[in-house]
Chain A
Amino acid sequence: MVERKMNPSPITHHPLRIPAGEPDFVRKVEELSGEDVFACYQCGKCSAGCPFTSGMDLLPAEVIRLLQLGDERVLSSRSPWVCASCLACEVRCPKGVDIAKVMEALRLLVLRKGETGLTWEEIPPGVPQIALVGATRKLTP
């Protein structure tokens, strides 16, 4: 069971939802994240506060928008791999969408096929193990 704290509308009954036309990957993202991407009304607070947008090809709000539209381009976006799960978006979303969880779900769609988001050429010397464990847990299968 997925915990839903702030958003009152259960996933399956959202008025914006068009179940028949919904691509499989959107459903998977919602299942993995436990989040309702259709709750987003595109206010853009997540994008405004995200400290990592300089490295992103899609802003966080655009990632959510493409998911709402079932647009597959979101699957090849660089943005989930630049997200550091800092949760700045999560505390500010007025609709209670945990965008970091959506980003994690997008990574997992790739990682669970055995692909990796991180290739080591060399481990930079002196990097603490919390950085290495954190990066491998988030960015490798």
Chain B
Amino acid sequence: MKGHRNPSPITHHPSRIPYFPGCALKDQARGFERAARAAMERLGYELAELPRWNCCGTVYSLSSDDLMRHVAPVRNFIRVQEMGERKLVTLCAMCYNTLRRSADFVSADPERLRRINAFMDEEPDYAGGVEVLHLLQILRDEITFEEVEAKVERPLYGLKVAPYYGCMLLRPREVGIDDPDAPEVMELLVEYLGAEAVDSPHKVECCGAYQTVANPGIARERVQEIVGAAARRGADVIITSCPLCTYNLEHHQLGEEKPHHPSLITHHPIPVLYFTQLLAYALGVPEGELGFEDAAIDPRPALSQRVGG
């Protein structure tokens, strides 16, 4: 069944998009956000941060009876509603997934939403209808990559970029921003920026996610497979859209322990960038504004060697 319509019909300022940052973008992944803001500004858009946003819940509850886990996302949707807007854009893939699935969950059954609204009696009711988007969708579908290409000031000729999608941008299929088994949105972006996209068979496979806390050995094994595959194909850098993927891909590359198979040994660690950092870099945003200094594996040598700084 169709969800409720938000009473406010469409966005008031088409180039000003309500934006949900999430915790990591204010901490470990500051460069992800800074670069996104700078890039969007160059493209004529503004990311308008939600006032009083709260944690999205990080992981979507997979149980059928856990309404409580949807309260946090819905509270954020009320903030969007108060702005008089309908769209909500995220950068973090985990936030995207959790918010988007919750939006779908409450709009699929009015009774769920009624109970959540009744529980949050200190808030105005959420009327439904907020559309959760990932920035890659805005770039691809609204701004278009052709438009992005026209604004490139520092083409990334010669740079080999391996996009890593992980899980939350693609699965489940209903919320995926691209084909869950053969996505291409990041490859297209990379190529419009002038770089060469390096395809890898492990680009949609999980990095270990939060198991990095409970079973770090398994996460390490995952990362060695993923990075090993990108390295064998000559990638200079890997790009992601998720702070947890980035943490795992960096952290487990730098560990002391050797891979379980010789083919997985990489000769030097491969830098991991957020796609917004690569985008902003290509759009000519000064390097000092991109948060490269926070990366565990410095991407600057690879970038300056290939692109010529």
Tell me the A residues contacting B by CB distance below 8 Å: 1-3, 5, 31-34, 51-52, 54-55, 81-82, 84-88, 90-91, 98, 100-101, 103-105, 108, 117-118, 123-124, 126-135, 137-139
Contacts and interface: CB of A to CB of B under 8 A. Distances in A.
Contacts of A82: 211, 215, 218
A130 B218 contact: no
B108 A3 contact: yes
Interface stretch (B46-54, B55-63, B121-129): B55-63
A28 B103 CA distance: 26
B171 interface: yes
Contacts of B180: 91
Contacts of B92: 130
Given A88-B205, A101-B62, A128-B244, A138 B210 contact: yes
A101 B63 contact: yes
B40 to A, nearest CB: 23
B247 interface: yes
Given A51-B205, A127-B212, A131-B247, A87 B58 contact: no
B271 interface: no
B172 A33 contact: no
Give the interface size bracket for B toward A: 35 or more
A131 B173 contact: no
A137 B58 CA distance: 9
26 contacts: A3-B108, A32-B63, A32-B64, A32-B65, A51-B225, A52-B206, A52-B218, A82-B211, A82-B218, A84-B206, A86-B205, A90-B172, A91-B171, A98-B62, A118-B214, A124-B213, A126-B247, A126-B251, A128-B28, A128-B29, A130-B24, A130-B243, A132-B213, A135-B211, A137-B57, A139-B214
A74 to B, nearest CB: 17
A129 B214 contact: no
Most-contacted residue by chain B among A33, A54, A135 (CB, 10 A): A135
B58 A134 contact: yes
Contact of A1 (B58, B109, B170, B221): B109
Contact of A135 (B63, B205, B214): B214
A31 B212 CA distance: 30
A54 B167 contact: no
A88 B209 contact: no
Nearest to B166: A86
B211 A130 contact: no
B213 A118 contact: yes
A101 B59 CA distance: 13
Contacts of B208: 84
Contacts of B212: 127, 131
A88 B28 CA distance: 27
Contacts of A55: 215, 217-218
A33 B221 contact: no
A128 B63 contact: no
B23 A129 contact: yes
B171 A88 contact: yes
B181 interface: yes
